[in-house]
Chain A
């Protein structure tokens, strides 16, 4: 099973700042990684797939990068609506499909 480790667990930033979230895989997953955003009381929303492709309707301030075992989600300038929990997910070696444990992005 591929384990995804996200860091940091919590990130405290202010609106307008740049956010950098990390996801590390226990073995190479090529570029088969997605990022999701989840707000309280809501279902997750797909942001990025295959490491760097934005999903439909996702603002350009969200970008993804990485390959192999190290991946990054960057939010170039935080909007107040971006404060949420972010999960990475791999589809390289399944079953099982696995998620990271999440990074909570909170307002500083």
Chain B
């Protein structure tokens, strides 16, 4: 059974930093592109970033480019999102999602909540 479990979400002040983690199991982690997708409270879905299966390619939404960094560790079967210079508009539930090899998301975690507030 595919499982994605996010962690690391907390309350942080504007300008602060945070690292989110996503532990993957139930599939061959090294074979798949992975994504972060976020959802602000009461709002829709926003794609944040992706990393290729081998970590060699990364892409970001314009709203986070230059502030967020995605990475992965195959030995730990984990995905990460380093978030710097956080803004109030980054407040959201952050989901880790598996790519079904077609830039669609076939499995999602339950999300971890990031709140940026002073």
Contacts and interface: CB of A to CB of B under 8 A. Distances in A.
Interface of A: 32, 34, 36, 38, 42-46, 49-50, 55-56, 87, 89, 91, 94-102
Interface residues of B, number: 21
Contact of B45 (A44, A45, A55, A95): A44
Contacts, number: 59
Instruction: Specify which of B45, B60, B95, B100 lies most central, judged by the most chain A CB atoms within 10 Å of its CB.
Output: B45
Contact of B47 (A45, A50, A55, A99): A99
A100 B100 contact: no
Contact of B106 (A50, A55, A95, A101): A55
Interface of B: 35, 44-47, 50, 59-62, 95, 100, 102-106, 108-111
Contact of A97 (B100, B103, B108, B109): B103
A42 B39 CA distance: 12
A99 B105 contact: no
